[in-house]
Amino acid sequence: MTNTAHRLVLLCLVPLLLVCALKAGDATHPPKGDVEKAITIHYLEIVTPDVDATCEVLSKTHGVTFGNPIADLGNARTAKLDTGGRIGVRGPMRETEEPVVRPYILVDDIKAAVEAARAAGGEIAVGPMEIPGQGTFAIYLLGGIQHGLWQN
């Protein structure tokens, strides 16, 4: 084979080999139509009898600043999350409320999300409830864990 023939073969084979290599590399990734949707924690709620100490530790360890209590969020003091959401630290709102860390996952349709939680065996503790100017939240219990849902 001449040099020209070798070059021609390489010019034809190289693009084919690249396409095959790219397809083989994609074997571990789902096709574009099956891309997993990421969840976003919109609000991370911490209920504790020691709000000030908790805010102080979080401020010192993570470099965040907590604001003044917000009445609509149960007097939670909040700081920003890098996802655009917030972390809120508040005291118990009733004598029987236990300390808890409860993530509220952002959803597009809170009514549908509550029904999906119910269908999966979740016990609805708080049905969809609007907080004026904040959004709508719900809480369900499943597997001994409190789960929150949030819709803007």
What would the pLDDT profile of 112-150 be if each residue is shown by its tens digit?
Answer: 999 999 999 999 999 999 999 999 999 999 999 999 999
Per-residue pLDDT reduced to its tens digit, 75-115: 999 999 988 999 999 999 999 999 999 999 999 999 999 99
Cβ(10)–Cβ(17) below 8 Å: no
Per-residue pLDDT reduced to its tens digit, 22-57: 344 444 555 566 778 899 999 999 999 999 999 999
Are 133 and 77 in a shared domain?
Answer: yes
The candidate with the shortest Cα–Cα distance to 47, out of 99, 6, 86, is 99
Please indicate, yes or no, if residue 54 is contained in any of the structural domains: yes
Chain centre to alpha carbon of residue 133: 21
Residue 2 pLDDT: 54
Is 27 strand, coil or helix? helix
Q: Which residue range is the domain that position 128 belongs to?
A: 41-151
CA–CA distance, 143 with 21 (Å, rounded to integer) = 44
Residue whose pair of structure tokens reads 């719900």 in the numeric block: 138
As a three-state string, the secondary structure of 28-92 is HCCCHHHCCCCCCEEEEEEECCCHHHHHHHHHHHHCCCCCCCEHHHCCEEEEECCCCCEEEEECC
Are 80 and 17 in a shared domain?
Answer: no
Are 111 and 132 in a shared domain?
Answer: yes
Please indicate, yes or no, if residue 16 is contained in any of the structural domains: yes
Are 23 and 97 in a shared domain?
Answer: no
Per-residue pLDDT reduced to its tens digit, 7-23: 433 333 333 333 333 34
Task: Enter the pTM of the model.
Answer: 0.75
CATH of the domain at 49: 3.10.180.10
Please indicate, yes or no, if residue 120 is contained in any of the structural domains: yes
Please indicate, yes or no, if residue 111 is contained in any of the structural domains: yes
Sheet with 135-142, side-by-side order of all strands: 77-80, 86-90, 41-47, 100-106, 145-151, 135-142, 123-131
